Structure 1
Amino acid sequence: MMNVKKQRKHAGWRIALAAALALVLLSGCTSNKPGQEPAGAPAEAKPASAAPAPDKQIVVAVASDPALDQLDAGAYKGFMEAHAMVYDSLVEYGEKGKIMPSLAKSWDISDDGKTYTFHLRTGVVFSDKTPFNAAAVKFSFERWYKNPANASLNVAKKLRDIQVVDDATILFTFDSAYYPLLTELTFARPVRIISPSAVEPAGDPNGQFKKPVGTGAWMVDSYKKDQEGVLVRNPNYWGQAPLLSKIVLKVIPDAQSRVLALQSGAVDISGGQSGKVPLDNLAMLKADAKLSVPQTPGTSSHFLIFNYNQPLLQNVKVRQAINLAIDKRSIAAKLLGGTGAEAQGLFPLTVPYVTENNNKWYGYDAAQAKKLLQEAGYTDAAGKGIVEKDGKPLELRLVLQQTEFPEWKPIAEYVQSKLKEVGIKLNLQVLESNAYYDALWKNKEYDLIIYRTYSDAYNPHAFLMSLFHQTGDTPAVAWSDKTLETLIDEAVASTDTGQRQAKYDAWFARAREEAIYVPLYYPDDLYTVNKRVQNFKLGYTTYAPVPWNQLDVSK
């Protein structure tokens, strides 16, 4: 994973309807054997389609500087969405984790899960017409995979050797099986392929990055720090040419200013994680005849973490009571204005390996919550409305931040009121962003803390490994449980999808039995779009939230 503390934010698509559908990674696609490409996929690169009119462009609002001058495919700087526009990966992430061909048209995996052979598209060139081939792939990976900074990325940590078989074939050897390797190859960075001509000296894996040169559909045209970045169509793109000729990324840090820019027509699109629109403006934006507000279920969720070092929370009945005391349906229906859904478990059904059967949690039952507290030895002997045990009140502290998630404050206040109804006193502490992340990742100065899961390609394996698994001698961040750690280790090492599903099922079952977190709600992905923009829909990942190549504008 990359920079887990400020982890990649949220995006997604429709909820998958097949409850038992497993993520088929080892075959590359659900209906084909290794080495085969899905029916209808282009076997080789083809000439770009006829160029659209040069004046077809849109303006997209972004909250922060896109830093397009630092858009190195092997690093973590620059606008993450632009990484996926300028650079292609060997494979791409599809709906509910389906792995799709990209620069690799097919691949084979050895029986032991340690050797991956990728068969590359031929006839592909980088945007500067430098040939794309296996040597370019090896160069691109050798720039970063031995760097200790990428140790949390398993495709780097486990990669032992890269062998160029011929121009169109490359072989990767890993030291152990790890099924999400293909998933990690879909990430926005650092796994995407950069041209050997992008560094100086050219072709040197240790060379200095000079300019972004990829095989993607877009190229960086211009950039003004803290003002805007401009991407233009790559005339040498190997796939279907974008219908637009230009996309302008307009920096508008203030959320209300982004709303005004949408209303005035100064920008065409704002939303997602890069340009959030305040929830309290949605009704107004939906009423604007010039705008549409598409929303769809996402792949992340927001939940409460328990501090397992807090003695008051080490009794499972107390944790169960807290879960039962919170009406999660009301959070989605009332506090989020109908833009999300009640959390049924840690992850929504849009996440691989999450099914109707394993995604069951505690509902809302205040009476049962009070009963469990009594069974745990807590009573309101003083008649003050707060339960006590051994003369000590059941009083806890909930930590949150508002910088990134302003909706957390009213949600926390609601949780506070519901816990008070069953006799638990909850004190709220709002921290600035850096102090909040220190509390979560470093000093554990909280009793409960509100957090969110990762999204799309990082779920479920990367999130579970990050928060519910020890790192070296350091205990797990969210909840320490050896059985859970063993289950996730066995899941990620399994080369059999059925066995892997069983391990995830067992993980979710034990998590529920021990009530180790409190799922709250599943947020929707939201955008506001000028109706002159045509073909708008949402993509499958945070870093490719919109299929930009398909967008068009009306005359």
Structure 2
Amino acid sequence: LKEPYSPTLSELAVVRPFRFLAPSAFPKDLDLIKHNPKPIGTGAYMFADSKLGVSDTLHKNPHYWDKERYKGIYYDEIILKVIFDPSAKIAALRSGQIDMIYGYDQIPLEIFKNMQKSKHFATYLSPPLHSVNLVINSASPAFTLTNAQSSTLLRQSLGYAIDKQRLVRAVYGGIQESANHIFYQSTPSAQKNKEERAIQESLAFLRTLADSVDSHLHQKGIEILFSGDNPAHKMMAEIIQSDLKALGIKVRLSASEPSIYRNRLLKGAFDMAFSETWGAPYEPLSMLYSMLIPSHIDFAAQSGLSTKTAIDEGIRKLIVLNPSSPTFDALLDNVINMLETSGVYVPLTYQKNKAITHPKIKGIKMGVVGYEVPFWEFYEEAK
């Protein structure tokens, strides 16, 4: 790391209790659960108090390594309030009970767009943070044709049939970006031209396939599985269903309870489902590493690929290779290219973080790390 790591509250107290732990904090028997050492952290704030289901409180860290850069003008105390209902969040903001709502999944689209028009509040959008992909299960009988090449072309063709621009407008009101890659990156114009030709060839392939009485897609149809508590994924599934129907492909939508949804993904019991990448600092290496074991959707979705062994070998070489090595970038590009050309992943959107605040708060910067809220940047001007 180039500078000391500043863990967020969720990382300290909820999601991952110890991502980094000083050697002095490890008990002799290494039983962290029994001893439960208290996190200290090196960030601008220290964990002070927690009231389950109500709030968490952070206090300014007097020993923060970089406190002089901001001349100490950032807030002395941060109180994170737990408010589940979107309307209640806005009501609390309007009444002054809270000063900020922060997070791409914390603010419904319509509320955010309405607040953009308000003169009494400020709204912010971050750069793209991570991607939302439609994942096609390569081991599903629905996508298994006579040979691996035809199966790959089928998956690629389905991806090209989706109108991503319409999807972004309908689901996200245009505030997110349509995606062309699993991980957020720029696309050279030559590659864009190549993709345009591939789109036309793939759609022609799908129309030819529609005339085949042996196609699973037209006899039995395919299923798009999504978690029932995710309205954005439901809307995307409906749009994809419409796009594929125009090509004569039957698609049925299946909402599932979150825990059942995850189990089906791990077992590979799906045709199509949604997946989100992890964003910085986990992309691409941490996410690629997770593909080696059945811990997420990726392992099952890739299990039917003839290139699965080559993909896994490439990932294993990457994670032990020094990023400064002259072969690192080429190997990384090759692994990602194998994943993208497999047709398993259909990039849909690049997600951006959102925030709504009172105008009195200054110094707000929307970073590129989705799980980080840079409280140490925020301050109010002296009256």
Contact 1:369 1:422 in 2 (8 A): no
Corresponding residue number in structure 1 for 2:14: 78
- Cα offset, 1:374, TM superposition: 5.0
- Could you give the per-residue CA deviations for residues 34-89 of structure 1, whole angstroms, max 9, x where no partner exists? xxxxxxx99xxxxxxxxxxxxxxxxxxxxxxx9x8xx895xxx4377xx8xxx996
1:479 equivalent in alignment to 2:302: yes
Corresponding residue number in structure 1 for 2:289: 465
Equivalent residue for 1:401, pick from 219, 227, 236: 227
Aligned-partner Cα distance in 1 for 2:279–2:73 = 26
Which piece of structure 1 moves more, 207-216 or 487-496?
207-216
- Cα offset, 1:301, TM superposition: 0.6
Please report the RMSD computed on the Cα atoms of aligned residues, expressed in angstroms. Answer: 3.5
Distance 1:294 1:145, change over 3 A: farther
Corresponding residue number in structure 1 for 2:147: none
1:277-426 mapped onto 2 (5 Å cutoff): 277-314=107-144, 315-349=151-185, 356=188, 362=195, 368-373=201-206, 377-379=209-211, 389=215, 393=219, 395-403=221-229, 405-426=230-251
Distance 1:259 1:531, change over 3 A: same
1:226 equivalent in alignment to 2:58: no
Distance 1:335 1:78, change over 3 A: closer
Q: Which structure is richer in relative contact order (CA contacts within 8 A, separation 6 or more)?
A: 2
Corresponding residue number in structure 2 for 1:528: 356
1:492 equivalent in alignment to 2:316: no
- Could you give the per-residue CA deviations for residues 125-169 of structure 1, whole angstroms, max 9, x where no partner exists? xxxxxxxxxxx93223x459977xxxxxxxxxxxxxxxxxxxxxx
Contact 2:46 2:59 in 1 (8 A): yes
- Could you give the per-residue CA deviations for residues 365-423 of structure 1, whole angstroms, max 9, x where no partner exists? 87644421355x54177xxxxxx5389626100000142x3211111100000001111
- Cα offset, 1:308, TM superposition: 2.0
Corresponding residue number in structure 2 for 1:451: 275
- Cα offset, 1:210, TM superposition: 6.1
Aligned-partner Cα distance in 2 for 1:424–1:343 = 23
The alignment partner of 2:242 has SS state of helix
The alignment partner of 1:409 has SS state of helix
Corresponding residue number in structure 2 for 1:439: 264
Distance 1:88 1:518, change over 3 A: closer
Distance 1:526 1:364, change over 3 A: farther
Corresponding residue number in structure 2 for 1:137: 22
Q: Which amino acid aligns with 2:24?
A: F
Q: Which amino acid aligns with 1:447?
A: D
Segments ≥4 residues shifted beyond 6 Å: 144-147, 357-361
- Could you give the per-residue CA deviations for residues 334-372 of structure 1, whole angstroms, max 9, x where no partner exists? 3211111111111112xxxx7759986955987644421
The alignment partner of 1:300 has SS state of strand
Question: Between Structure 1 and Structure 2, which shows a larger proportion of helix residues?
Answer: 2
Contact 1:457 1:541 in 2 (8 A): yes
Equivalent residue for 1:270, pick from 75, 79, 101: 101
Distance 1:487 1:391, change over 3 A: closer
- Cα offset, 1:259, TM superposition: 2.0
Percent identical residues? 23
- Cα offset, 1:543, TM superposition: 3.5
Contact 2:127 2:367 in 1 (8 A): no
Aligned-partner Cα distance in 1 for 2:125–2:225 = 29
The alignment partner of 1:348 has SS state of coil
The alignment partner of 2:222 has SS state of strand
Contact 1:358 1:509 in 2 (8 A): no
- Cα offset, 1:478, TM superposition: 2.6
The alignment partner of 1:322 has SS state of helix
- Cα offset, 1:212, TM superposition: 4.2
Contact 1:298 1:523 in 2 (8 A): yes
Q: Which amino acid aligns with 2:270?
A: Y
- Cα offset, 1:221, TM superposition: 3.3
Corresponding residue number in structure 1 for 2:82: 251
Corresponding residue number in structure 1 for 2:346: 518
Aligned-partner Cα distance in 2 for 1:244–1:368 = 57
Corresponding residue number in structure 1 for 2:254: 429
- Cα offset, 1:246, TM superposition: 0.9
Distance 1:412 1:233, change over 3 A: same
- Could you give the per-residue CA deviations for residues 84-134 of structure 1, whole angstroms, max 9, x where no partner exists? xxx996xxxxxxxxxxxxxxxxxxxxxxxxxxxxxxxxxxxxxxxxxxxxx
Contact 1:243 1:551 in 2 (8 A): yes
Tell me, which stretches of 5 or more residues in structure 1 are unaligned? 1-27, 30-40, 43-65, 90-135, 148-204, 382-387
Tell me, which stretches of 5 or more residues in structure 2 are unaligned? 145-150
Aligned-partner Cα distance in 2 for 1:475–1:305 = 8
